Amino acid sequence: MNSKHCIIHSGSGKEDPWLAPDMNEIVIRKLLEEDVAPSYVVALQDPTVLRLTEARHTHWDEKAIREYVKQHQNSKSQILFGVFLTEENSHIGNVRIFSRNDIHKRCELSIMMFGSNSRGKGYGTAAIREATEYAFEHWHMHRVMADYYEINEPSARAFEKAGFLYEGTFREHFRLPSGEYVASIRVAKIRH
């Protein structure tokens, strides 16, 4: 593994054996319904957190969040991972792999980091790397794709550092609350 920040847990309390054991700043594991804490609800109601995500189009109360988490728990085509600071056990973000296509061996990835005390420390990059590696190793994907808002510089940096390459621009793809349109940037990583 390239990441020096984290370890993925299966959600069963056991580490996946293919991960290096020295990654200990953050833990990435399948998000469970019991992880829906008041701080998570507050984060998903914060317009500054949601501003450059498609999650901004949903009203997130505790019930909606629990249902969202629950629908991912038993799915074969999508996994929602939580990103947690190990020392504080605080939930600082999510990374999701979804739209699994076993014929073409590809899937999508999205990420949302909301822990203000964790920004700029490489945790988002580490989460992207680990979720991508999970898709390659456990789902046997050949390709992992993602999109982000053109003006989302932290996402651009995180995906680039995680080894994703630019593939294209969808002009005027996202409409902001101001009415302004911004492009969507498409990136992907191929398994070699």
For residue range 62-102, list pLDDT tens digits in order: 898 888 899 988 899 999 999 998 888 889 999 999 999 99
User: Which of 89-98, 133-142, 169-178 reaches the highest mean pLDDT?
Assistant: 133-142
Cα(99)–Cα(139) distance, integer angstroms = 12
| Helix (H), strand (E) at residue 66 | helix 62-73
Which two structure tokens, joined as six digits, stand for 58?
A: 């949903």
- Residue 105: CB partners within 8 Å, gap ≥ 6? 140, 141, 142, 143
Domain boundaries, the chain: 6-147
Q: How far apart are CA 158 and CA 118, in angstroms?
A: 13
Give the separation between CA 28 and CA 81, rounded to whole angstroms: 6
Q: At the fourth CATH level, which superfamily is domain 6-147?
A: Gcn5-related N-acetyltransferase (GNAT) (3.40.630.30)
Q: Which of 143, 64, 55 is nearest to 94 (CA)?
A: 55
Q: Which of 50, 41, 185, 62 is nearest to 113 (CA)?
A: 50
Task: For the chain, give the percent of residues with pLDDT over 90.
Answer: 49
Helix H or strand E encompassing 68: helix 62-73
Q: Whole-angstrom Cα distance, residue 84 to residue 26?
A: 5
Distance CA 96, CA 133 (A): 12
Greatest C-alpha distance within the chain: 48
- The residues, ordered by sequence, that sit 6+ positions from 175 with a Cβ below 8 Å of its Cβ are 181
- Strands 181-190 and 165-175, how do they pair? antiparallel
Residue for token digits 């993602």? Answer: 146
> pTM (2 decimals)?
0.84
Separation of alpha carbons 103 and 21, rounded Å: 33
Mean pLDDT of the region 119-129: 90
